[in-house]
Every structure is written in C-alpha cells, then in structure tokens.
C-alpha cells in the first residue's frame, strides 16, 4: 500500500449516490420547444403521448390480395379494386377481392390478406387462392403499436435516433425538452498550452479541453469554454467567481495534494467541498462541491482520470439534473483475456477491448496515457481487493454506452 492509498476512500457507489442526491437538489427544469430535427441528445420534459392509434387503420403487411374470408369457398374471386399505400379504399364489394400493396389500408369488409406468391391470376383476371387462409392474416391491425393516449416515452427520456423516429411516427414536429445545462469548462495547469502553439520545455498540450468540450456537446450541454486557468489561488478565486451563471463549473487538474493544486482550497473558502478522494482508479482526487453557490466538479487532470470520472460520475450527475433516470451505463459480463495480480483498494477501470469475446487490456494503464482509451472500446471494472485469473468473468462497460 502506498502512502496515499489509505483506507477511508469513498466507494464509487457512495460517491455516485451523493452526486445523484446533489443533482436531485438542483434539477434543470426549464422547458424549451425544439423542432424534431434539433432534438437529438435532448431530454424529454414531458411524456410523449400518442395522439392517435398507430397504425391509424388496418393495413396490409404484404403485396397481394385482400378478401373477406367468409366470401371464399375455394372458387376464384373477381378483383374489384386496386389499393396502393397512401390511398383511401372503397369498402370491399361482397364476393370480390382487392389487389393491395404493403402499407395500403385494408378496405372495410376485408379480414384477410394473401401474398401474391400464393395466388394464381387466371386469364380472365380472377384470382385463385392456392393455400388455406387464416382470419386476419397479413393484416397489421389499427393501434397495434400505440393506442391513442398511450404514453410512448416517459419524461426524462434522452432522445436518440430511435426516439426521434418514434416521435416522428406520431406526427410530432416539435418536442418539449429540458433546457441544456450550461457547463463552464476550465482547464487548470501552468503547463498547459493549446494545440497550434509552440511547446516549450515543461509544457504539454491541453487535451482535456478538447475531449470534454466534444463530449459535453454530445451529451446535450451548452459549453462556456473558460480556457486555461493558471495554478494560482487568487486567479482560481477570481475565475470561479466569474462563472456564477453556469449550472456547473467543470474543471480538470489541480485537485490533488500538490503545492499547485488550488481547487479544493478555493472551494473550502467560498463554498463547500462535498466529495473528495474516491476509491476509484484512475480518478481518486475527484472533487465535488460548490463555489459561491455554483456547483463545481473538479476532475483529476490526468487524461484517463478525466475520462473515467467524467464517464462514470460527472456525466451521470448532469443527466440526472435533467431528470434522466437511467444514468449508470450498462455492464456486460465477459471473460478476462488477462490476469490481474495486484489487488488494489480502489475500484479500477482498465481501458480494454473485446477480442473474440474476451476482454484484453491496454498494456500501459497509466492515467496519463490517453492513447489507452483510443485503443479501447470499453472499461473493465475490477473491484477493490480483487485479483483475477485469466478466463474469470469481469464487468465490461462499452465506451459507446457513455460517449453518447
């Protein structure tokens, strides 16, 4: 055990529970109406209800012929009308059938559709049905998908491609969604330089800013990019104090115990430090609190620590503030394609990739190595105190689950 890995670290579940409680105290409830085409990634503010039955009328599932079963005694039937999708049919004339195509409304009086492969069209145009017919066959009944008034999606649903398609099928051109969270993004560190600038000795490029900005935008947030903050307590106070209009100040770096780590000190002075030092690796010094009443989440500066803590803690917090229930990502159990001999006292999230159904881990799991995450397609979770033999089952969190 190293000097810093003492017991007393906050377990990940407890940190998440506390973040959820903080989120519940500060819901973002303002509602906006947005056109369907702009609603991707937003969160429904009200349930999506079906204004009508879907499908609105019985319609054919096949290209073929519609008939009334009782009219068919084995003799060929005359075709009395042709019904394409998009037209309103006449009622079916007794003793006849109708030519019908997939998606076309079934005419009043018909109760069965036969696909054209199973009929013989006679020279006189009549149609002989070659196989036994069943009542209701190949008919998609009115309301089979939704009934008028059904709740199709609950409030708090995040809108992805499927939900947008569903809303469109119900004729919704505009959706009521929660206002986007306003996130002020700050990268702390005297060593940071933006890409495009020359790099002097001791400096590194700011990668967390690009990573988080893209991810926040994808997560449906409005980003106020507050740039780079030097490692200086007075400057930290000044900049945090200027970001009061934000729903969240999200910072990276400056949360550990070094002499240039000032976020904790600033929060203790003019706010509250609610969470610090978690049993998570990477990401232990994650810092949560508020500054003059504005919520602050300080992600540890190491790029893989930033990624893991954003994915598993900060992102769920933001989603919960929007009323999203399901904020924890899916885990699938997979066999480990590696052995893990070092039981740690923090829960570890290893950058991993599935190959032939087994999880392989990137050879360098240093929290400074972002390349590990670009190589990976998920995170393997290794619980505190655990070692693993190759072939044992481990939880795997697909990165696609958290990147949306």
Ligand X SMILES: Nc1nc2c(c(=O)[nH]1)N[C@H]1C(S)=C(S)[C@@H](COP(=O)(O)OP(=O)(O)OC[C@H]3O[C@@H](n4cnc5c(N)ncnc54)[C@H](O)[C@@H]3O)O[C@H]1N2
Min separation Cβ 39 and ligand X, Å: 31
Q: Take residue 361 and report the two structure tokens written for it.
A: 């881990």
Q: From its phi and psi, is residue 162 left (phi > 0), alpha (psi between -120 and 50) or beta?
A: alpha
231 binds Mg ion (CB under 5 A): no
Min separation Cβ 253 and ligand MOO, Å: 11
Residues binding ligand MOO: what is the number (CB under 6 A)? 8
Q: Which of 99, 120, 119, 102 is nearest to 110 (CA)?
A: 99
Asked if 288 and 22 touch (Cβ cutoff 8 Å), the reply is yes
337 binds ligand MOO (CB under 6 A): no
| Non-local CB neighbours of 6 within 8 Å, separated by 6+ positions | none
Which member of 146, 188, 305, 372 binds ligand MOO (CB under 6 A)?
305
Give burial (CB, 10 Å; 0-12/13-18/19+) of 8: exposed
Min separation Cβ 312 and ligand MOO, Å: 12
- C-beta of 39 vs 255, nearer to ligand X: 255
367 binds ligand MOO (CB under 6 A): yes
Quick one: which segment of 90-98, 152-160, 172-180, 255-263 binds Mg ion (CB under 5 A)?
Answer: 255-263
Q: Residues, the chain, total? A: 404
Say how far apart CA 267 and CA 237 lie, in whole Å.
9
Asked if 350 and 399 touch (Cβ cutoff 8 Å), the reply is no
- C-beta of 40 vs 190, nearer to ligand X: 190
Handedness of CA 322, 325, 327, 330 (dihedral sign): negative
Which member of 99, 138, 281, 347 binds ligand MOO (CB under 6 A)?
281
Say how far apart CA 16 and CA 313 lie, in whole Å.
6
Phi first, then psi, for residue 277 (nearest 5°) are 70, 90
Residue 204, contacted partner among ligand MOO, ligand X, Mg ion, none, CB below 5-8 A by kind = ligand X
220 binds ligand MOO (CB under 6 A): no
- C-beta of 308 vs 397, nearer to ligand X: 308
For residues 388, 393, 399, 404, the Cα torsion angle rounded to the nearest 10 degrees is -140
Min separation Cβ 270 and ligand MOO, Å: 26
- The residues in 295-354 that bind Mg ion, with binding defined as CB under 5 A, are none
- C-beta of 53 vs 191, nearer to ligand X: 191
Min separation Cβ 2 and ligand X, Å: 8
146 binds ligand MOO (CB under 6 A): no
Phi first, then psi, for residue 244 (nearest 5°) are -60, -25
Q: What is the contact surface with ligand MOO in residues (CB under 6 A)? A: 281-284, 300, 302, 305, 367
Q: What is the contact surface with Mg ion in residues (CB under 5 A)? A: 256, 258, 261
């Amino acid at each position: 055990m190293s000097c810093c890995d003492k017991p007393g670290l906050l377990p990940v579940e407890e940190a998440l529970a506390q973040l959820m409680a903080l989120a519940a105290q500060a819901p973002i409830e303002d509602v906006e109406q947005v056109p369907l085409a702009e609603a991707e990634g937003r969160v429904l503010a009200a349930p999506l209800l079906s204004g009508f039955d879907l499908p609105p009328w019985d319609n054919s599932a096949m290209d073929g012929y519609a008939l009334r079963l009782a009219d068919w005694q084995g003799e060929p039937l005359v075709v009395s009308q042709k019904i394409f999708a998009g037209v309103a049919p006449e009622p079916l004339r007794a003793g006849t059938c109708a030519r019908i195509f997939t998606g076309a409304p079934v005419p009043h009086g018909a109760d069965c559709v036969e696909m054209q492969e199973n009929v013989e069209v006679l020279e006189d145009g009549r149609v002989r049905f070659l196989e036994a017919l069943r009542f209701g066959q190949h008919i998609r009944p009115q309301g089979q998908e939704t009934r008028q008034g059904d709740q199709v999606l609950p409030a708090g649903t995040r809108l992805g491609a499927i939900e947008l398609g569903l809303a469109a099928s119900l004729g919704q051109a505009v959706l009521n969604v929660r206002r986007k969270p306003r996130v002020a993004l700050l990268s702390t560190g005297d060593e940071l330089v933006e890409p495009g600038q020359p790099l002097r000795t001791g400096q590194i490029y700011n990668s967390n800013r690009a990573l988080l900005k893209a991810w926040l935008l994808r997560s449906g947030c409005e980003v106020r990019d507050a740039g780079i903050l030097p490692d200086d307590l007075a400057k930290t106070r000044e900049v945090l104090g200027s970001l009061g209009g934000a729903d969240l100040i999200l910072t990276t770096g400056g949360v550990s115990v070094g002499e240039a780590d000032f976020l904790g000190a600033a929060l203790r002075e003019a706010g509250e430090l609610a969470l610090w030092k978690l049993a998570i690796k990477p990401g232990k010094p994650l810092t949560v609190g508020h500054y003059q009443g504005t919520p602050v989440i300080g992600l540890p500066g190491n790029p893989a620590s930033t990624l893991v803590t954003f994915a598993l803690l900060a992102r769920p917090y933001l989603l919960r503030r929007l009323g999203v229930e399901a904020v924890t990502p899916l885990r699938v159990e997979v066999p480990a394609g590696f052995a893990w001999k070092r039981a740690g006292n923090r829960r570890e999230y290893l950058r991993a990739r599935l190959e032939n159904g087994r999880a392989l881990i990137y050879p360098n799991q240093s929290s400074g190595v972002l390349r590990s995450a670009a190589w990976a397609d998920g995170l393997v979770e290794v619980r505190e105190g655990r070692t693993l033999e190759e072939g044992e089952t481990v939880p795997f969190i697909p990165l696609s689950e958290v990147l949306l």
